[in-house]
């Protein structure tokens, strides 16, 4: 390789270099395929942990009045099981598959930001270990995976378990948002020529939509956890009703994240099924447009249904009415998908491989879970069965019978592509039937237990007629399910060592990832085949009878984005949601009179107005600076950039002086809820201004070093985007906090 070529390769996609060998090469890797595999392996380790936790609980519940586990141990187990399975197993598995497959499916060499990609992965083991470290530090969190406040406030949860839970979720959340930003930028900007958005494989489509769900929903959780932290460590009262806080706000914030989260865990599974079913039914997907469009519909609706988790809280009839309606509505686009998959199989020549078996089981079990989900939209039924085993059965049908079965289908389908070896079909069938029987035995009877009134999250139950028997059946099923996972593991190990070599396209599939060798080259493809339709490999294999061309002979989407700006824009969308939550909290707590310091008595809107003008002026100077840079006027650019930094620093100092003045008046963050929300909101904004100033200083350093002389100004534009965003947020914050005092 010539020096020039290697230099350009290093710029295009950083590689660990030839020095990295063995285990170290995996630690240092920035290759999306290796990172994807790391995600999957890490998820597997945590899957074992979460599974063992589940089995321990099933042992405890096998008999009435059992004493195998203490109540406290049981509380810790169900909390850790839920948190582990959702944040450390399902999400990493889906991110792992997305990481591995998306660049291959769109004909890209790697993700848009390979180093960011490695960071998002390494945040996962960090978060996971931090969560489990709580076991050594005074006990695991024990409040359920949603850690309802005020139960999670210091007086009721004095051990640091909740803190570890919150910290690890913040870290995992940051990793998920980073991974999603990366996926959005990759899908928007790195598609091979001809791979228009309307021709994307449905898996990529769903990952694309899903990534937006992640960046929009996770900030709600992060904001809530931040408030909980401030409560626990600075003595404030966001969620303490005894001091004017709200006992319900946490639930709103949590479920505003939590319901989209359900779809974050389901959409990629839908994507897997949309790939597996057509290949093994030997027919193109029925109603591609409807499957893709209904994904968008589900994603949008998922933000408008969260309150159905709170029917039992007592929100009043109007709320119940509207959210019951939207919750029923969301079943429609999901139903569209189920019909599309069924119609794809109809009349196809179905090959019942293990992957297809899992996909078919997914279809049935997910429908069962979906239907029981619709029953929760009926408010009186929800009041009756909420927090019973009916609920447990419902979401396990969705998440295990649905998502996990889809993941197993995907694993059997893509394993040959990833490793170059086939998984054994004989062991696979055994694995499938054990999982199918085990899963349904374990969870179907729980519907009855729930209807009979058995509540979840209680460590034991009295010896009522039928309860002992049903619970024993459920436990037996759970162990069968556990054993099926052992079969899967042994299948993977055996096949890795002595599996049948796969060849490049063992299933005669049609999407682009199968055009690569199995396992793929480090750079994925030597040449990406031409893409004119949704099944490029079908066209390649059947030149006489190609698929209909979608949208023109050789089409390109009518928008072209730059990857840094696409990444920054999606990051800012996420940040915007975070600030929206803080602003809503401010409004929520400050729309009625309270004792203690008031906005009118504490704040000085005139002086804040002066600093506001500085910040707004800095947006103008930065905009001018960008124009100068574009015109190659470097000294003017540096001058204006310096001015921008100066104005930013003036704003920070102004805010600092305001803070000091307010402190001197005796108003602290824990004085009352006005002070708490004020300092939280403006403090987070100030933090963002500081980060912006640091970023501008780095840009300045690069400019002084002559880095932009060649016209590579994307970095400046991206940082500019961030700076304008921070200013725009301040404009809103200023209106919400200060402008009301001036009117």
> Where on the chain is the footprint of another protein (CB under 8 A)?
1, 5, 9, 15, 18, 107, 109, 192-194, 196-198, 289, 292-293, 296-297, 300-301, 303-304, 316-319, 321-323, 325-326, 329, 521-532, 551-559, 580, 584, 587-588, 591-592
Closest CA to 673 of 341, 241, 49: 241
Nearer to another protein, 190 or 719 (CB): 190
For residue 184, what are its two tokens? 């959005």
Minimum Å distance from CB 684 to another protein? 18
Nearer to another protein, 583 or 719 (CB): 583
Minimum Å distance from CB 77 to another protein? 36
Nearer to another protein, 523 or 607 (CB): 523
Minimum Å distance from CB 658 to another protein? 26
Nearer to another protein, 453 or 546 (CB): 546
For residue 451, what are its two tokens? 């209807």
Minimum Å distance from CB 557 to another protein? 6
State the burial class of residue 701 (Cβ atoms within 10 Å of its Cβ: 0-12, 13-18, 19+). exposed
Which phi and psi angles does 140 have, rounded to 5°?
Answer: -70, 160
Minimum Å distance from CB 740 to another protein? 11
SS3 of 94, please?
Answer: helix
Neighbours of 376 (CB within 10 A): 21
Q: Which residue has the tokens 């402190």?
A: 663
Nearer to another protein, 318 or 465 (CB): 318
Neighbours of 417 (CB within 10 A): 24
CA-CA distance, 718 to 567, in Å (whole number)?
Answer: 9
Minimum Å distance from CB 573 to another protein? 9
**H helix or E strand, kind and range, residue 159:** none
Is 573 in contact with 651 (CB distance < 8 Å)? no
Nearer to another protein, 329 or 639 (CB): 329
Minimum Å distance from CB 5 to another protein? 7
CA distances from 312 to 255, 655, 715 (A): 14, 43, 50
Minimum Å distance from CB 643 to another protein? 26
CA-CA distance, 613 to 496, in Å (whole number)?
Answer: 64
Nearer to another protein, 106 or 480 (CB): 106
State the burial class of residue 152 (Cβ atoms within 10 Å of its Cβ: 0-12, 13-18, 19+). buried
SS3 of 273, please?
Answer: helix
Nearer to another protein, 418 or 442 (CB): 418
CA-CA distance, 113 to 12, in Å (whole number)?
Answer: 10
Is 354 in contact with 423 (CB distance < 8 Å)? yes
Closest CA to 100 of 529, 524, 493: 524
CA distances from 694 to 136, 358, 690 (A): 38, 51, 6
CA distances from 520 to 113, 269, 419, 608 (A): 20, 23, 9, 58
Minimum Å distance from CB 411 to another protein? 25
Nearer to another protein, 24 or 156 (CB): 24
Minimum Å distance from CB 558 to another protein? 6
Q: How far apart are the first and last CA of the chain?
A: 69
Nearer to another protein, 304 or 453 (CB): 304
């Amino acid at each position: 390789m010539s020096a020039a070529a290697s230099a350009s390769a290093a710029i295009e996609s950083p590689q660990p270099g030839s020095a990295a060998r063995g285990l170290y090469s995996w630690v240092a890797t920035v290759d999306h395929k290796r990172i994807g595999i790391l995600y999957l392996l890490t998820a597997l380790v945590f899957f074992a942990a979460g599974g063992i936790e589940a089995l321990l609980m099933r042992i405890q519940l096998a008999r009435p009045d059992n004493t195998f586990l203490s109540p406290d141990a049981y509380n810790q187990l169900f909390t850790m099981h839920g948190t582990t399975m959702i944040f450390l197993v399902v999400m990493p598995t889906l991110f792992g598959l997305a990481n591995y497959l998306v660049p291959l499916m769109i004909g890209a060499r790697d993700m848009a930001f390979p180093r960011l990609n490695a960071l998002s992965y390494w945040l996962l083991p960090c978060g996971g270990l931090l969560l489990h470290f709580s076991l050594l530090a005074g006990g695991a969190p024990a409040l359920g995976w949603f850690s309802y406040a005020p139960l999670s406030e210091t007086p009721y949860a004095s051990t640091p378990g909740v803190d570890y839970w919150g910290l690890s979720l913040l870290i995992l959340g940051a990793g998920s948002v980073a991974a999603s930003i990366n996926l959005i930028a990759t899908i928007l900007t790195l598609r091979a020529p001809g791979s228009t958005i309307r021709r994307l494989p449905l898996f990529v489509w769903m990952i694309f939509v899903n990534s937006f769900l992640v960046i929009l929903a996770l900030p709600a959780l992060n904001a809530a956890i931040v408030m909980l932290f401030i409560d626990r460590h600075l003595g404030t009262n966001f969620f303490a009703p005894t001091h004017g806080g709200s006992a319900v706000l946490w639930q709103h914030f949590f479920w505003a994240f939590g319901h989209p989260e359900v779809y974050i865990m389901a959409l990629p599974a839908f994507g897997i099924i949309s790939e597996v079913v057509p290949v093994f039914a030997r027919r193109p997907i029925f109603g591609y447009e409807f499957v893709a469009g209904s994904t968008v519909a589900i994603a949008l609706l998922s933000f408008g249904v969260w309150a159905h988790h709170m029917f039992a809280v007592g929100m009043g009839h109007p709320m119940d009415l509207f959210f019951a309606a939207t919750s029923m509505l969301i079943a429609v686009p999901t139903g569209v998908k189920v019909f599309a998959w069924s119609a794809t199989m109809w009349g196809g020549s179905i090959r019942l491989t293990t992957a297809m078996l899992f996909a078919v089981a997914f279809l049935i079990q997910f429908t069962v879970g979906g239907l029981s989900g619709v029953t929760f939209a009926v408010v009186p039924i929800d009041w009756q069965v909420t927090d019973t085993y009916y609920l447990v059965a419902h979401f396990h049908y969705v998440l295990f019978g649905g998502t996990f079965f889809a993941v197993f289908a995907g694993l059997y389908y893509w394993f040959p592509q990833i490793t170059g070896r086939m998984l054994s079909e004989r062991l696979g069938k055994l694995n499938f039937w054990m999982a199918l029987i085990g899963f349904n035995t374990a969870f179907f009877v729980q519907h009855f237990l729930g209807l009979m009134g058995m509540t979840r999250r209680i460590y034991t139950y009295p010896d009522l007629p039928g309860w002992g028997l049903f619970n024993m059946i459920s436990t037996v099923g759970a162990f069968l399910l556990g054993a099926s996972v052992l079969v899967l593991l042994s299948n993977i190990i055996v096949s890795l060592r002595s599996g049948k070599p796969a060849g490049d396209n063992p299933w005669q599939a049609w999407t682009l990832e199968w055009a690569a060798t199995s396992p793929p080259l480090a750079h994925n493809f030597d040449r990406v085949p031409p893409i004119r339709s949704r099944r490029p490999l079908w066209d390649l294999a059947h030149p006489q009878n190609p698929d209909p061309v979608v949208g023109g002979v050789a089409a390109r989407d009518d928008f072209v984005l730059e990857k840094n700006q696409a990444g920054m824009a999606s990051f800012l969308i996420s940040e915007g949601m975070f600030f929206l939550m803080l602003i809503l909290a401010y409004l929520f707590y400050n729309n009625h009179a309270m004792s203690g310091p008031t906005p009118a008595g504490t704040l000085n809107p005139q002086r804040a107005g002066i600093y506001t003008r500085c910040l707004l002026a800095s947006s103008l100077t930065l905009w001018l600076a960008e124009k100068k840079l574009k015109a190659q006027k470097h000294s003017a650019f540096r001058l204006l950039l310096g001015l921008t930094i100066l104005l930013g620093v003036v704003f920070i100092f102004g805010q600092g002086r305001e803070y000091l003045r307010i402190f001197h008046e005796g108003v602290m963050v824990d004085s009352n809820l006005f002070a708490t929300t004020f300092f939280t909101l403006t403090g987070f904004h100030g933090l963002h201004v500081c980060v912006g100033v640091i970023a501008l200083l780095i840009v300045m350093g690069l400019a002084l070093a002559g880095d932009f002389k060649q016209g590579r100004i994307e970095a400046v534009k991206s940082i500019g985007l961030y700076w304008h965003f921070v200013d725009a947020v301040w404009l809103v914050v200023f209106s919400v906090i200060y402008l009301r005092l001036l009117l």
